[in-house]
Chain A
Amino acid sequence: MQLSRSARIALRVAAGVGFAFIYVPLALVLVNSFNPDRSASWPPSGLTLRWWSVAWENEGARAALWVSVKAGLGATAIALVLGTLVAFAVARHRFFGRDAISFVVVLPIALPGIVTGIALNSAFSTVLEPLGVGLGLFTVIVGHATFCIVVVFNNVVARLRRTSGSYEEAAMDLGADTFRAFADVTFPLVRSALLAGGLLAFALSFDEIVVTTFTAGPGIETLPIWIFNNMTRPQQAPVVNVVAAVLVLLSVLPIYAAQRLSADTASGSRV
């Protein structure tokens, strides 16, 4: 399409405004972590590294980070196993209700978090509490794994659909049994899809707040919950600023990792 010079300039300007809309808020979070004041008034009266060392010493934030990492690793491990199992069933078999299964896998992430959250909460309290198991880290992991299955499933099923079963058949023709064919042929084929799916699952769990609110027992505080609880306390504002800045910086890591993974899984789509 032959755009006029002025139309091209207008589009460039509009795109520039769009990118500014995306990046200025994140940049402000970074700058604000050096703000010496407790208020968010702009511009900051100076720049200081003081709050970074205060935040580093903050027990609450550290403990919450550790809880988040444990919950993320647990949920990712479960999601990797269950998501891969469903992906193999759907991609390599034909059976009644196959489409329904793909639908059920997506449901936990498609429904509002609060619906999933209260459904799991009342299920846990009616089923687990009589058994003497209260809400805790375990229930957070179960809740997170439920909506993390879909990202592993999507990555693995997409890979399996692109690689036909004939490689495995060739391996079996050459004398490999089912397990050997899986270990030597199928697994290497899906490995990068598993990595991408696992990375997405961890990121999804690490960032989750709503389902966590309803599945965490007393005293279990993930990093998002910690931020949410401390966000409105003026006393804690500088520490929250630093934690927010760290999370913005960390968000570059998965992008870097995704670029290193094969191009077809690097799209980074979360759903």
Chain B
Amino acid sequence: MTSTAQAAGRSPVRRLAGTLHRRPRLRLSLLLTAPLLWLAVLYLGSLAVLFVSAFWTTNSFTSEVVKVWSTDNFHALFTTPVFRQVILRSIGVALAVTALSAVIAFPVAFYTARIAKPKWRPLLVVAILTPLWASYLVKVYAWRLILSQGGFADWMLKPFGLSGPGFGLFATIIALTYLWLPYMILPIHTALEQLPANLLDASADLGARAGRTFRSVVVPMVLPSVAAGSVFTFSLSLGDYITVQIVGGKTQLIGNLVYSNIELNLPMAAALGTVPVVVIVLYLLAMRRTGALSSL
């Protein structure tokens, strides 16, 4: 840092500026006080209280929270069959959404990054991004329209003598895939775009056909980006409870269990709420090993 030390004896504003300049620690604490009060005290404080309350219990007659330390709620997570089933189902849905997104995203990204004419590519990226700005609820609502009885899906499948899947687990997976798909396409597009052409040429020169080049060069180079995209598709799906309410029929996911426990048993809701958080953190740690997080 350079110094402009002649500030003394000027206007108060000028003096304050000089003080701030000479004392970076003061500047830093002025910068950080308000955001830290907000994020660390208000937000982390609320979260901490919530997770502590997971160890409390409720009076089963009055639904009032009783502040007695116990691990009963966590015990119930693993022993109650409904909870176990719903937790496993939620993780399954999140994995299915991730897999389906990757399968749909790859050809789209390959086309936009390497097959389409270069002058069209920026426009195609915008076309992938635009749906991200469309309202979350409207996108789920679109699938409610499509899958409702006598709706678009039924109409499309009628010539084949089939009917649409209706509302349920499958509809939930489709709608969640639809919501988070752009988050999967974009990193794969970027990775494919940056794939050096001479690696592909080298592979061809060494006698590999397209299929072999794809398996041995393209896939390993793109995999970290798939992992990066999967962080979004997986964690956003795992915490969701609105989509499943709209197109899931009677299907319950972990978010629904949290929601339905809030009124009557807040400590149980808090304990259930830790499940997606823990699973997401474990997933992030697993993905970090693939180098995915550095490309986020």
Which residues of A does B touch, CB under 8 Å? 1-4, 7-8, 11-12, 14-15, 17-19, 21-23, 25-26, 28-29, 32, 39-43, 81-83, 85-86, 88-89, 93, 95, 101, 104-105, 107-108, 110-116, 118-120, 122-123, 126, 142, 145-146, 149, 169, 172-173, 175, 177-180, 203, 206-207, 209-210, 224, 227-228, 231, 240, 244, 247-248, 251-252, 254-255, 259, 267-271
Contacts and interface: CB of A to CB of B under 8 A. Distances in A.
A86 B142 contact: no
A118 B262 contact: yes
Contact of B141 (A85, A113, A244): A244
B238 A112 contact: yes
Interface residues of B, number: 98
B1 interface: yes
Given A15-B111, A17-B107, 19 more contacts: A12-B115, A15-B108, A18-B185, A22-B127, A25-B145, A40-B144, A82-B39, A86-B32, A86-B35, A115-B273, A126-B49, A146-B43, A209-B136, A227-B138, A228-B246, A244-B142, A251-B133, A251-B134, A268-B129
A40 B141 CA distance: 11
A268 B277 contact: no
Interface in B199-216: 200, 203-204, 210, 213-214
B150 interface: yes
Contact of A14 (B18, B107, B144, B270): B107
Given A40-B151, A82-B35, A118-B258, A8 B115 contact: yes
A32 B34 CA distance: 47
A145 B32 CA distance: 16
Interface string B1-26: 11010010000011001101100100
B28 A42 contact: no
Contacts of A126: 49
B296 to A, nearest CB: 8
B240 to A, nearest CB: 8
Contacts of B133: 203, 251-252, 254-255, 268
Nearest to A86: B35
A113 B273 contact: no
Contacts of B2: 169, 172-173
25 contacts: A4-B210, A8-B115, A18-B107, A19-B127, A26-B131, A28-B152, A29-B142, A42-B151, A82-B39, A111-B239, A113-B239, A114-B241, A115-B258, A119-B50, A146-B38, A178-B20, A179-B17, A206-B135, A207-B136, A244-B142, A247-B134, A255-B129, A259-B126, A268-B129, A269-B186
Interface in B19-59: 20-21, 24, 27-28, 31-32, 34-36, 38-40, 42-47, 49-50, 53
Interface string B230-248: 0010010011111000100
Given A15-B111, A32-B145, A224-B136, A178 B280 contact: no
B130 A115 contact: no
Contact of A224 (B135, B214, B255): B135
Contacts of A240: 141
A271 B83 CA distance: 31
B166 interface: no
Given A29-B138, A40-B148, A21 B178 contact: yes
Given A86-B35, A177-B17, A29 B136 contact: no
B191 interface: no
B150 A1 contact: no
Given A82-B38, A93-B28, A244-B138, A18 B108 contact: yes
